[in-house]
Amino acid sequence: MSNQNDTEKPSGKQEYNITVYTENQIGLLNRIAIIFTRRKINIHSLNTSPSEIESIHRFNIVVQETEDVVRKLSRQIEKQVEVLKVYFNTNEDVIWQELALYKVPTDIIAEKASVERLLRENGARVVVIRKDYTVFETTGHREETDALIKILQPFGLIEFVRSARVAIIKDSDGFNRKLREFEKAEPGEEVAKNEYLNNGQKIFTM
C-alpha cells in the first residue's frame, strides 16, 4: 500500500469512502469485493463492523477513483440483495480515523529517544512495555500514522501495522429511521429516493 496523501489527482481520481449498510450474511463480503476486482479496481482499505443498529453491518471501503466510477460501483453494490444502502463521500465529507501499532526494542528506545517527547508530539500511547519491546499506538489520518513510522525507523522499528479506515459521515442522521422504512413493504421516499431530484445534496443515495 502506498503512502499517498488524499489530495485530488490530475486524473480526477481521489479517495472516496464508500459506506455500505448490509444484512449480516456469509458470502456478502465476497459479493461486494468482486464488484471491485471484476473492474480491476484496488480496494485501499476495507473495514467491516457492526453499525448503530443491532444485526445491521457496516462496510467502510476506501478506493482511489473518479466520482463517475465510484457512483457506478455504488449502484452495483446497492443492487445486491442483502445490501440496504450505499453512500459514497470524499474525505472532506467524513470524519475518519485509522489506528496503528508500532513495536520497537525497549532498550534502544529508552536509551536513545525521549519517549516522553515521542508520545507527546505524535499523540501516541504506550500499549505494552516489556523488557524486550514496547508497543505504541496512534490513531489519526494516514499522514499522522505515517509520520511516526519515519520517526521510529532509526530506533529499530520491529513491526508496524495499520488498521482499515473507519469513517463517520458528517451529514448523516443515522440509519435507525431509514431501517424502519426498509422494513415496510411499501417504502417511503427516503428509501427509494431518486438521486437526480437531490442535486447538490452531499451524500449519494438511490
Partner 1 sequence: METEQKELSNPAGVETIEVSGSVALLEALITEGTDVIFGYPGGAIMPIYDALYDYKEKLNHILVRHEQGGIHAGQGFARTSGKVGVVFATSGPGATNLVTGLADAMIDSTPLICITGQVFAHLLGTDAFQETDVINITTPVTKWNYQITDATEIPEIISKAFYIARSGRPGPVLIDITKNAQIQKFDYSGYTPCNHIRSYRPKPLIRKEYIIQAAELINQAKKPFIIWGQGVILGEAEQEFKTFVEKSGIPSAWTILGAGAIPTDHPLNVGMLGMHGNYGPNVLTNECDVLIAIGMRFDDRVTGRLDKYAKQAKVIHLDIDPSEIDKNVQSTVPVWGDCKETIPALTELIKQKEHKEWLQKFRDFDQNEIDAVIHNELHPTSGELTMGEVIHQLNVLTKGEAVIVTDVGQHQMVACRYAKLNNTRSNITSGGLGTMGFALPAAIGAKFGAPNRTVVAIIGDGGFQMTLQELGTIMQSGIDVKIMILNNRFLGMVRQWQELFNEHRYSFVDIASPDFVAVAAAYGIKGRSISEREDITTALQEMLNNKGSFLLEVMVTKENNVFPMVPQGCSVSEIRLK
Stretch that binds partner 1, among 6-14, 109-117, 148-156, 186-194 (CB under 8 A): 186-194
Stretch that binds partner 1, among 103-111, 114-122, 168-176, 181-189 (CB under 8 A): 181-189
Residue ranges in 133-172 that form contacts with partner 1 under rule CB under 8 A: none
Question: How many C-beta neighbours within 10 Å does residue 16 have?
Answer: 25
In 4-141, which ranges are continuous DSSP H helix? 28-37, 67-78, 106-112, 115-122
Phi, psi of 132 (to 5 degrees): -85, -35
9's CB contacts (< 8 A; 6+ apart) are: 64
Contact, 163 vs 100, CB < 8 A? yes
Stretch that binds partner 1, among 93-101, 121-129, 158-166, 194-202 (CB under 8 A): 194-202
Residue ranges in 31-70 that form contacts with partner 1 under rule CB under 8 A: 31, 34, 38
Q: What's the min distance (Å) between Cβ of 21 and partner 1? A: 8
Q: What's the min distance (Å) between Cβ of 11 and partner 1? A: 18
Number of residues this chain uses to bind partner 1 (CB under 8 A): 31
Residue 131 grid coordinates: 523488557
Q: How many CA atoms lie within 13 A of 70 on its CB side?
A: 25
Please give the residue ranges that form the binding site for partner 1 (CB under 8 A).
22-23, 26-27, 30-31, 34, 38, 71-72, 75-76, 78-79, 81-84, 179, 182-183, 185, 187, 189, 191-194, 196-197, 206
